[in-house]
Amino acid sequence: MTYYDQFKVRAGSEVKFAGVDPDFTDVHEGQKDAAKEIENDLIELRKLQDLLYADGRRSLLICLQSMDTGGKDGTIDHVLSAMNPQGCRIVAFKQPSAEDLANDFIWRIHKVAPAKGEVVIFNRSHYEDVLTVRVHELVPEAVWARRYEEINAFEQGLVEADTHILKFFLHISKDEQLKRFKDRLDDPAKQWKISESDYKERTFWDDYMTAYEDALSRCSTERAPWFVIPANHKWFRNLAVSRIVVEYLKGLKLTYPPPRVDLKHIREEYHTAKKAKG
C-alpha cells in the first residue's frame, strides 16, 4: 500500500485520533534505517517539481496544520530542501490583520494561492477559521459551522483551475508536545519561539482534537484530501510527507513541454558560429 493511501482520510469517513498512533514508524526501526529512502524521495521530489514548473499548466498547494510544536517548520525545511526556490513559495498565516477582517475569511487565502507551475506551502491555513476560531469562540457557532462548506467550495474552485491540493495534519501526542516545549526552554536557539500562549493552549487540547477531527472529516475530499501523519518522530514525519507528495506527483504523469523554438535552426546557428570562431 502506498503512503498516499495508507494515511489519507477517505472522503466521507469519520476521523478519530484515538485510532492513530503518533509513534508509528511503519517498518522502520529508526532514522538510520530510513535514511536512504528519505534521500531518494528528496531526489525524486526535486525532479518532479522541475517537471511541474516546466509543464506550467498545473500547480500544487500543500497545507500543513498541527498543534504547537507539531513540526510544520521542520516539515517545510525538509520538503523545501529538495525544491528549486524559483518555483516554490511559503506562506505563513498569523493573526488576521484589520484588512483581512474587513473581508471574508477566505480572502487572504485566495490571493496567495499558487500560480501555474508553482508549489505553495501553507504554514497554517484557512482551516484556522474552523479551529482556533471555534475553540476560542471568536465567532458564533452559526458562523464557523457554515465555513466547512465554504472551504470545500473554495478548494473545489482551485481544483477546477488545475491546482492540486494535499493537506497534512501532523499528529503528535500531548506528552510529545510537552517534551518539545522543554527542549525549547533548554535550547537558546529555540527560546525565541516560546510565547505566553503556548502552555495556555494546552488546556484546550481536547477541544482542538475535536475541532480537528470535525474539520478533517468534513473537508477531506477526493480532489483535496487530508492526511493524518504520525509525527512524534520527526524523521518519519518528513519521510511520510515527502513520500506522499512524490507518489501524488508521479501519478500526474508530468512531462517536459516541447521546445518553443526551432531547434534545427538554432543548431545550425551554433555550428556556424563555432566554425567562424575557429
* Dist. CA 158–CA 63, nearest whole Å: 13
Q: Dump pLDDT digits (tens) for 193-219.
A: 777 777 788 999 999 999 999 999 999
Q: Model confidence at 263, in pLDDT bands (50, 70, 90)? A: low
Q: Delineate the domains of the chain, giving CATH numbers in brackets.
A: 3-277 (3.40.50.300)
* Contact by Cβ (8 Å): 121, 88: yes
24 has pLDDT over 90? yes
Q: Dump pLDDT digits (tens) for 225-249.
A: 999 999 999 999 999 999 999 999 9
* Contact by Cβ (8 Å): 237, 74: yes
**pLDDT at position 262, please?**
66
Alpha carbon distances (Å) from 45 to 8, 13, 169:
19, 29, 20
265 has pLDDT over 70? no
CA nearest to 231, candidates 44, 20, 19: 20
* Contact by Cβ (8 Å): 250, 48: yes
CA nearest to 246, candidates 84, 52, 66: 52
278 has pLDDT over 70? no
Q: Chain-wide mean pLDDT for the chain?
A: 93
**pLDDT at position 272, please?**
74
Q: Model confidence at 80, in pLDDT bands (50, 70, 90)? A: confident
Q: Model confidence at 257, in pLDDT bands (50, 70, 90)? A: confident
Alpha carbon distances (Å) from 134 to 114, 130, 137, 143, 227:
27, 5, 5, 9, 21
pTM comes to: 0.93
Q: Dump pLDDT digits (tens) for 102-151.
A: 999 999 999 999 999 999 999 999 999 999 999 999 999 999 999 999 99
**pLDDT at position 49, please?**
96
270 has pLDDT over 90? no
